[in-house]
Structure 1
C-alpha cells in the first residue's frame, strides 16, 4: 500500500473509521473516502472495454453478475446505472416496449 495515500497514522481500529474528522460506520466507507479503494474504477474500466469491443449483451450481463459475486464493488448502483442501456441492448431490439425489455432482462 502506498503510504502517501494514508492521510493520517491510525492508532486504533476505531481511529481507522475517522477520515478528515468524519466518522464512518464501516471500514469500507472510510477506505473509500480516503481514496484507498480503486476497485470500482477497475471494474468500470473492464465493463467499458467489454462494451467498446462489442461483447455480446448476454455475456456482458454475465460478466456483471460475475463481478458482483467475486469482486464486491463498492457502488453497485452506479455501475448498473452507467451500463444499464448496454445491459438491455438486445432486449430493446427484440421488444419495442421498454418495460417489457426491463422485465425480460431481470428474469
Structure 2
C-alpha cells in the first residue's frame, strides 16, 4: 500500500485499487499539476490511464515503486502481511520483474 499524506495523516492506497494506486504514485512524483488532464500529459501526449503515465515517466519500468512500497510496509508489517502485499502486487500484473522485487 502507498501512503497518502493529508493534514498530517497518512492514508493508504492498495495496489488492488488500480488507477487510484497509480494516481497516488503520480501525486508523489509529478510537481504542480492543476488537473487530471495535466497529470496525464507527458511531453505533450495525453495518456488514457494513470498507469500508462507512470510507465511513460519511467516510474515503474524498474519496479522501484513496488520495492519502495514493500520497504515502507516492512517498518510496521508482519511477515504475513508483507507476503500478502507481495501477492497483491503480483495480482496487479504490472511488475516487470517480480522475481527481482522478491529478491530485493
TM-score range, shorter chain: 0.3 to 0.5
Question: Greater CA radius of gyration, 1 or 2?
Answer: 1
Q: Relative to total residues, which structure has the larger strand share, 1 or 2?
A: 2
Q: Relative to total residues, which structure has the larger helix share, 1 or 2?
A: 1
Q: TM-score, with normalisation over the residues of structure 1?
A: 0.42
- If asked which structure has higher relative contact order (CA below 8 Å, sep 6+), I would say 2
